[in-house]
Amino acid sequence: MMATIPLAMLQENCEAVIVEVRGGMGLTRRLAEIGFTNGTRVKVLHSAPPGPMLVMVRGSRIALGKGVAMKIMVNPVEGI
Partner 1 sequence: MEKIRVALIGNPNVGKSQVFNNLTGGRAHVGNWPGKTVEKKEGVCVHKGVEMQIIDLPGTYSLTARSIDELVARDFIVEEKPDIVIDIVDTSNLERNLYLTFQLLELEANIIIALNKQDVAKSLGYEIDAKELSKLLGVPVISTIATEKIGMEELKDAVIEAAKVKEKRREHTISYGKPYDEIILKIASILQKDKELSNKYPVRWLAIKILESDEEVLKLVSKSPVYEEMKLQLSEAKKILEEDVDTALAEKRYSIISEVILPKVFKGTRPLTLTDLLDKALLSKYLGIPIFLALWWALFRFTFDVSAPFQDLTHMLFSKLGEIANSHISDPQLASFVADGIFGGLGAVLTFLFPIFFLFLGLALLEDSGYLARAAFVMDRIMYKLGLHGRSFIPMLIGFGCNVPAIMATRTIDREEDRILTILVNPLMSCSARLPIYLLIASTVLGPYAAAGVYSMYILGIVLAILMALLFRRTIPYFKGKPSPLILELPLYAVPTMKSTLVHMWERGSLFLKKAGTIIFLGVIVVWLLSSYPWEAVHQGDTVVLENSYIATLGRFLEPIFRPLGFNWMAVVALFFGFIAKEIVVGTFATFFGLEESSEDLPTALRSSGTFTPLTGLAFMAFSLIYIPCIATIGVIYRETGSWKWTIFTVMYELTLAYVVAFIIVTFGRLIGFT
Per CB under 8 A, contacts with partner 1 among 6-35 are: 21, 25-35
Non-local (6+) Cβ contacts of 5 within 8 A are 73, 74, 76
Residue 79 binds partner 1, judged by CB under 8 A: no
- Contact residues for 70 (Cβ-Cβ < 8 A; gap 6+): 6, 7, 8
> Is residue 75 close enough to count as binding partner 1 by CB under 8 A?
no
Q: Is 5 in the site for partner 1 (CB under 8 A)?
A: no
Residue numbers at the binding site for partner 1 (CB under 8 A): 21, 25-35, 37-40, 45-46, 48, 50-52, 54, 58-68
